[in-house]
Amino acid sequence: MHQIGPISDIENADFAKHLLKWNSTENKRSMPWKGEKDPYRIWLSEIILQQTRVEQGRSYYEKFLHAFPTVHHLAKAPEQQVFKLWEGLGYYNRCRNLIATARMIVSEYNGQFPSSYEEILALKGIGPYTAAAIASFAFNLPHAVLDGNVIRVIARYFGDTTPATTTAGKKRFTTRANLLLDKNQPGIYNQAIMDFGAIVCKPAQPLCHTCIQRTACVAWLDDRVAELPVKSPRAARKQRWFYYFLLETPDGRTYIRKRGKNDIWEDLYEFVLYETDRPADPREILHSDFAHTHFGNEALTVRHISRSYRQDLSHQIIQGQFITIGLDKPLPGLAQFQLVDRNTLSGYAFPKFINAWLYDPTPVQSLF
């Protein structure tokens, strides 16, 4: 069993030398933001790619650049336009921070992206990884990136069993990443190690037999590649059931509102919602106090009830159904909602859970 010791200058130099050799001779990974020097474009790509697959992020990056070619365009854009373009990426707090930071760069930095790591890190929604990426790619500053790909490479190369999600793990892997960094060409090195983790040192079926680092890789030498990196146990996710009522007036309008703060999908639109911590029967909801409060004694015609939908989030699972109801006239108990034409719903930003139904409203039954 190989022991994990401090990183020597020789190990550092060898790792970087082999990595950069692989990058120049074998790395064929192509992405539209690769080699980019414009900090605005780098920032945009990094924010979009957080918790997003590269294949999905590529199209969003191109759409955002087309709509907002500069930080000035993004800063001036109506929030609803930005949210609508972001629709489908999830983690909408990233989008809110994107807007706030664009406006801050324009108002406080005259539209010029700050050029020091500390100033970049101070921007809203930018953490150590994104700050290091922008600082190294745009300004060639010696700050190592640390994402899932980099953690996997380092954990296997050094046989490190520290869970990276712990405080101690984050500190340990950050230290190792910065010690390995080629200070003379940090941008090229950072892109190379991320690509290496994505192409060679993959989560499953890594290309160990042809890996340029294998002769010094502890995980390979000790046959522990599949065990690393060590992950912390995942906490149980909260279960929530959402039952949405699409209430249609005779003239084709329906009720929507923005979700409030301090919960998922903040500032996105939704229909009238009944939430519970366990599955419910839509028939029973329509005879509950909730229905009396929101719908009063007005005549309701149930047009159809959807199949069940589900969305898995990082810390919770959302399940539920959609109930479409025809009204004889608008309801007085829904003053906090706005009435909009049903045909204009595509212009509003809804969460993925609702869009899944809007674009596939399969009923399980048409009437009670």
**Catalytic positions:** 46
224-249 core/surface letters (b: 16 or more CB in 10 A; e: else): bbeebbeeeeeeeeeebbbbbbbbbb
Q: Letter for the amino acid at 161?
A: T
- C-alpha radius of gyration, the chain, whole number: 25
Q: Which two tokens stand for residue 180?
A: 């390995």
Q: DSSP per residue over 62-75, as a string? A: HHHHHH-SSHHHHH
- Return d(Cα 64, Cα 62) in angstroms, integer: 5
CA–CA separation, 124 and 130 (whole Å)? 11
H helices within 124-280, ranges in order? 128-139, 148-158, 167-180, 186-199, 218-221
User: Omega before 206 cis (within 30°)?
Assistant: no
Can you name the residues that pair with 309 across neighbouring β-strands? 320
User: Nearest-CA neighbor of 131 among 71, 190, 192?
Assistant: 190
Between β-strands 238-248 and 316-327, what pairing exists: parallel, antiparallel or unpaired?
parallel
In the numeric block, which tokens belong to residue 243? Answer: 């039952």
Q: What count of other Cβ atoms lies within 10 Å of the Cβ of residue 188?
A: 18
131-136 CB contacts, 8 Å cutoff, 24+ apart: 132/190, 133/42, 133/46, 133/190, 134/39, 134/42, 134/43, 134/46, 136/186, 136/187, 136/189, 136/190
